[in-house]
Amino acid sequence: MSHANTGEPAALNMALLTVSDSRGAGQDTSGQYLEDSLVAAGHRLTTRRLLPDDVYLIRALIARWIAEPDIHCVIITGGTGFHERDSTPEAVRPLLDKVIEGFGEEFRRLSVADIGSSTIQSRAFGGLANHTVIFCLPGSTGACRTGWEEILRPQLDSTHGPCNFAALVQRKPERPVARLDQCIGSKATR
């Protein structure tokens, strides 16, 4: 548990991924809502992507973001349901060092007010990897609003007490991505 900082709010560097087989950038209202909200809260959006629901594409991108020393938080929207193509949990969970059990539990508890028992079909979850906090939300804008307003905004606020994730992710070790490129390469070679 990381305890609240009593100083000025800390701006975190955040990466945002929308997982969708049916939306393009112009229809990504959930991603846009999250971008607008995190910037309004004083955080920095370092990168935003939209990918199809493909386990290996998602896993490769998230692994890269986890290795980036300048990314503190990753928020993913989409791919958390039970449709045969929904694969965000399967893509991301193997990358986690620790699961934040309470995130999915609290998200589903809060969602009952809006969607009733259908909340059991949400596989929203959170976790930590390499001092990067990762949250996976459903793809609907309403679900993103619930997740952001009720859980993420306060938990990513360094002044929120009695505890928050901001202090933890700011202790991320400095491992230059250039080293990653040196070890595994940034492009395929023969």
The pLDDT of residue 62 is 97
Closest among 26, 20, 58, 37 to 138, alpha carbons compared:
20
Taking 80 as the threshold, does the pLDDT of residue 101 lie above it? Answer: yes
Backbone phi, psi, residue 39, to 5°: -65, -45
pLDDT in tens, 124-155: 999 999 999 999 999 889 999 999 999 999 99
SS3 content of the chain, % helix, strand, coil (to 5): 45, 20, 35
Up-side HSE of residue 175: CA atoms within 13 Å toward CB?
17
Mean pLDDT computed over every residue of the chain: 88
Domains of the chain, start order? 13-184 (3.40.980.10)
pLDDT score at 184? 62
pLDDT tier for residue 34 given thresholds of 50, 70 and 90? very high
Per residue in 59-88, pLDDT (tens digit) is 999 999 999 989 999 999 998 888 888 889
Confidence grade of residue 4 (pLDDT, cut at 50, 70, 90): very low
Strand, coil or helix: what is 175?
coil
- Alpha-carbon radius of gyration of the chain: 16
H-state helical runs in the chain: 29-40, 55-67, 88-92, 101-115, 141-147, 153-155, 166-169, 177-184
Please give the pLDDT value at position 190: 46
